[in-house]
Amino acid sequence: MIVVLNDDRVKDVEAYLPIAKAFAADAVANDEGCISMEVLVDAKTPGRVLYLSHFESEEAFKNHASGATFQKWLPELGKYFISAEDHFFEVR
């Protein structure tokens, strides 16, 4: 299992959050290998939103990132997107 920390910068966090939470729920329900996904807000850094996800493997994450769920939500999420960085951690 891997943990993925996706560190996003977005415009208008309050408008972005409902979309991000719906995307996360959709990914957990429909993306094979996506075990969990939480949306977190950094109260000390304006515009910083983190996705804390557990995937069965890095391959499962890559499939999620190129899959139908991600593509479905990309237009709505993209309206607020500034930048993102992914960090991968192995659970041992």
Contacts (Cβ under 8 Å, ≥6 apart) of 89: 2, 3, 4, 5
Helix residue ranges per DSSP H, the chain: 13-30, 58-65, 68-78
pLDDT digit string, tens, across residues 21-43: 999 999 999 999 999 999 999 99
2-60+76-87 under CATH 3.30.70.100, yes or no:
yes
Is pTM beyond 0.75 here?
A: yes
- Looking at every residue in the chain, the average pLDDT score rounds to 97
Name the percent of the chain lying above pLDDT 70: 100
The strands making up 2-10's β-sheet, listed across from edge to edge, are 34-41, 48-55, 2-10, 81-90
In the prediction, which pLDDT does 27 show?
98
Q: Where are the domains of the chain?
A: 2-60+76-87
